[in-house]
Amino acid sequence: MSIDKGFNVKLELLENYIFKVDFGDFGDIITDEAPPLGSGEGPNPSGLVAAAVGNCLCASLLFALRKFKDSPTGIRAEVKGEMERQEGRWRIARMHVRMQLDDPQLLEHLPKALEQFEDFCIVTQSIRKGIPVDVEVVDQNGRALKS
């Protein structure tokens, strides 16, 4: 799918708070709310937002590194969301993303890539207009590469 053509996702209520999310050619997933509202049979929408942020940041870092002909051996991310009541309603108040790079010493252009990769991330930059997103990059030993 080309990003200049946008995107299309279809949702259908199956029962209670369980929805089928149809990604077209890519198949379906089931979402659900956590108990007591739902039964927790799938990821909830907040989790999907976190997954989108983490995935987009990883792909953007990979893109930035490959742009400079660097080839990372591994990239992982963990996204933690903070929920709080705002004007009486639950909202995602902040996300903390911890990314891990394996063998960063092998990446000659890592400093340049770290300077710019977040700008390539469509999802994170879009979400940041309403939700602060903190990003940290560490090596396989947990040593900070960017914070």
What is the pTM (predicted TM-score) of this model? 0.88
Q: DSSP per residue over 31-62, as a string?
A: E-PPTTTS---S--HHHHHHHHHHHHHHHHHH
In this structure, which topology does domain 45-146 adopt according to CATH? GMP Synthetase; Chain A, domain 3 (3.30.300)
The alpha carbon dihedral of 72, 5, 115, 91 has a sign of negative
pLDDT tens-digit profile of 95-122? 999 999 999 999 999 999 999 999 999 9
What are the extents of the domains in the chain?
A: 1-43, 45-146
pLDDT tens-digit profile of 120-146? 999 999 999 888 889 999 999 999 999
Two tokens, residue 124: 């994170």
The two beta strands, 89-101 and 133-139, are: parallel
